[in-house]
Amino acid sequence: MERADLILTDISYILTMDENLTEYRDADIAIKDKKIIAIGEGIKNRYYGKTIVCKGKIAIPGLINTHTHAAMTLLRGYGSDNPLKVWLEEYIWPVEGKFVSYDFVKDGTKIAVYEMLRNGITTFVDMYFYENAVADVINEAGIRGVLSTGILDFPTPGAKTPDEGIEKTVSFIKEYSGEYVYPAIGPHAPYTCSPETLKKCMDVAEKYDILFHIHISETEFEVATVKEKYGKTPVEHLDSIGVLNDRVLAAHMVHPTEIEIEILSKRGVKVSHCPESNLKLASGVAPVPEMLKAGVTVSIGTDGTASNDDLDIIGEISTAAKLHKGISKDPTVLNAKEALLMATREGAKAVRMEDRIGSIETGKLADIVLIDATQPHLNPLFDPYTQIVHSSRGSDVDTVIVGGEIKVLNKEVLPLCRDEIMEIAERWKKRITES
Ligand SMILES: CSC[C@H]1O[C@@H](n2cnc3c(O)ncnc32)[C@H](O)[C@@H]1O
Ligand SMILES: [Zn+2]
């Protein structure tokens, strides 16, 4: 017998989401030094150590949310029922200007991390201000974050100029890179960042080998603005200034033309599809089947909770699958395996971490989610992929493991206190409504 740090035994289904979509029935997973060291039937007989019996559970890789603004939990539902331009300019940006600070971001991120862990998210990509506050929360809670300070050409809560935002990003890379924190650079969008700002951001991304995280082609307004300013569509514009390559993670991508989809594919740009935010802000529906057909990596993002308004990524996958079937009038589009891939292996590719996360494989980090399938609404269980995508919700997540450490057990989020989360939300609601 060999020693393991954690052994998950008798798992009803293991959906590895590896290249072959290998599945196991009634099998075990052994974990040591943060990584998966063995998977399969009878593994429990080869290892000893802390053991969790997982009868009736489905194991999937930790879910990857490739676009959010975590601290916006404090603005959940704020300025609802408006289009993006009005929502941002008349509601969100004024209130952010008044309230966003280190404390706001720290408190908002605590709520988001609680909610993301509860919903099975083990890695998220963030774009906001005071990312040092986000880093402090995630280092304490133990969830992975790809963190980018939002950079705009006008003053923001964290920086008076885009150059200051870029300098902050460089200091952040040097100070915070670590086990849980993966810095990225976050120019907001082609309509809020000049070509000069975008090029400077790409220089930093290349120098420090980090992700370039940006909103692209979210609304028709954006497309019209970029066309008017630069005489090109957003993707063509970004390509013409040399900032499209395989380290670009483009959030939304609702309105690309056929030519733009070809460019995305040729340049290796990854997309974060945010269907619920795009529906709620009435931005439109991204051409996901077309992008997939062209070989573009499409992952899943919840966006912030002021435009979604939750961080339930399983619900987001379900929305994506149903939405594209409906729009294309083709039920074979985005089958359950493909939909789940978007939040696992494709998500890992989108953040350029496919060698470490995104599937349950030996040698990979032990980021694992167990879904409780012993509930009436998940039975009878003919196909576990379909059941996860179309019958379950984030609230069915029972256990979450990040790097071999248990973060959620029996649906209880261990690193954060529920009462404190509720108290934070109440305190900020009071401050914001009384201002
Ligand atoms: C630059 S930090 C993030 C910045 O973006 C704002 N924001 C939130 N959601 C969206 C969205 O869907 N499109 C564009 N910008 C968005 C957020 O409020 C911050 O100001
Ligand atoms: Zn966004």
CATH number for the domain that contains residue 51: 2.30.40.10
Looking at the structure, do residues 50 and 79 belong to the same domain, yes or no?
no
Q: What is the 259 CA–ligand 1 centroid distance (Å)?
A: 26
**Separation between Cα atoms, residue 228 and residue 222, nearest integer Å:** 10
**Separation between Cα atoms, residue 270 and residue 286, nearest integer Å:** 14
Contact call for residues 177 and 195 (beta carbons, < 8 A): no
ipTM computed for the complex? 0.97
Looking at the structure, do residues 77 and 28 belong to the same domain, yes or no?
no
Q: What is the 161 CA–ligand 1 centroid distance (Å)?
A: 17
One pLDDT digit (tens) per residue for the chain, 435 residues: 999 999 999 999 999 999 999 999 999 999 999 999 999 999 999 999 999 999 999 999 999 999 999 999 999 999 999 999 999 999 999 999 999 999 999 999 999 999 999 999 999 999 999 999 999 999 999 999 999 999 999 999 989 999 999 999 999 999 999 999 999 999 999 999 999 999 999 999 999 999 999 999 999 999 999 999 999 999 999 999 999 999 999 999 999 999 999 999 999 999 999 999 999 999 999 999 999 999 999 999 999 999 999 999 999 999 999 999 999 999 999 999 999 999 999 999 999 999 999 999 999 999 999 999 999 999 999 999 999 999 999 999 999 999 999 999 999 999 999 999 999 999 999 999 998
What is the three-state SS of 401-424? EECCEEEEECCEECCCCHHHHHHH
Going by the annotation, the residues of the binding site are: 67, 69, 96, 188, 215, 218, 303
Residue 196 lies in a domain: yes
Residue 222 lies in a domain: yes
Looking at the structure, do residues 316 and 388 belong to the same domain, yes or no?
no
Residue 429 lies in a domain: no
Q: Give the ligand 1 atom nearest the CA of 92.
A: 18
Structural domain ending residue among the three candidates 320, 350, 380: 350
Residue 427 lies in a domain: no
Looking at the structure, do residues 379 and 340 belong to the same domain, yes or no?
no
Q: Which residues of 249-277 are buried (b: 16+ CB within 10 A; e: fewer)?
A: bbbbbbbbeeebbebbeebebbbbbbbbb
Ligand nearest to the CA of 281: 1
Looking at the structure, do residues 342 and 379 belong to the same domain, yes or no?
no
**Separation between Cα atoms, residue 231 and residue 236, nearest integer Å:** 9
Residues at CB less than 6 angstroms from ligand 1: 69, 84, 88, 92, 96, 127-128, 150, 152, 188, 215, 218, 277, 303-304, 307
What is the three-state SS of the chain? CEEEEEEEEEEEEEECCCCCCCEEEEEEEEEECCEEEEEECCHHHCEEEEEEECCCEEEEECEEEEEECHHHHHHCCCCCCCCHHHHHHHHHHHHHHHHCCHHHHHHHHHHHHHHHHHCCEEEEEEEECCHHHHHHHHHHHCCEEEEEEEECCCCCCCCCCHHHHHHHHHHHHHHHCCCCEEEEEEECCCCCCCHHHHHHHHHHHHHHCCEEEEEECCCHHHHHHHHHHHCCCHHHHHHHCCCCCCCEEEEECCCCCHHHHHHHHHHCCEEEECHHHHHHCCCCCCCHHHHHHCCCEEEECCCCCCCCCCCCHHHHHHHHHHHHHHHHCCCCCCCHHHHHHHCCHHHHHHCCCCCCCCCCCCCCECCEEEEECCCHHHCCCCCHHHHHHHHCCHHHEEEEEECCEEEEECCEECCCCHHHHHHHHHHHHHHHHCC
Q: What is the 68 CA–ligand 1 centroid distance (Å)?
A: 9
How many domains does the chain contain in total? 2
Looking at the structure, do residues 158 and 69 belong to the same domain, yes or no?
yes
Contact call for residues 74 and 411 (beta carbons, < 8 A): no
State the burial class of residue 376 (Cβ atoms within 10 Å of its Cβ: 0-12, 13-18, 19+). Answer: exposed
State the burial class of residue 386 (Cβ atoms within 10 Å of its Cβ: 0-12, 13-18, 19+). Answer: middle
Which pLDDT score, from 0 to 100, does residue 435 have?
86
Which pLDDT score, from 0 to 100, does residue 235 have?
98
Residue 406 β-bridge partners: 401
Q: What is the 67 CA–ligand 2 centroid distance (Å)?
A: 6
Residue 319 lies in a domain: yes
Residue 121 β-bridge partners: 63
Q: Are strands 412-413 and 405-409 parallel, antiparallel or unpaired?
A: antiparallel
Looking at the structure, do residues 50 and 199 belong to the same domain, yes or no?
no
Looking at the structure, do residues 180 and 324 belong to the same domain, yes or no?
yes
Tell me which of 66, 67, 68, 69 to substitute to probe ligand 1's pocket, judged by most ligand atoms within 8 Å of the beta carbon.
69
Looking at the structure, do residues 321 and 388 belong to the same domain, yes or no?
no
Which pLDDT score, from 0 to 100, does residue 139 have?
98
State the residue range of the domain holding 140: 63-350
User: Among all chains, which residue has been given the structure tokens 């705009």?
Assistant: 152
Looking at the structure, do residues 312 and 327 belong to the same domain, yes or no?
yes
Looking at the structure, do residues 218 and 162 belong to the same domain, yes or no?
yes
Question: Tokens in use for 115?
Answer: 């909610």
Looking at the structure, do residues 228 and 80 belong to the same domain, yes or no?
yes
Tell me which of 75, 86, 92 to substitute to probe ligand 1's pocket, judged by most ligand atoms within 8 Å of the beta carbon.
92
Residue 205 lies in a domain: yes
**Any idea what the Cα angle at residue 385 is, between residues 59 and 371, rounded to 5°?**
35
User: Tell me, what CATH number does 258's domain have?
Assistant: 3.20.20.140
Q: Give the ligand 1 atom nearest the CA of 156.
A: 20
Residue 345 lies in a domain: yes
375 contact partners, CB below 8 Å, separation of at least 6: 396
Residue 89 lies in a domain: yes
Ligand nearest to the CA of 186: 1
Q: What is the 86 CA–ligand 2 centroid distance (Å)?
A: 15
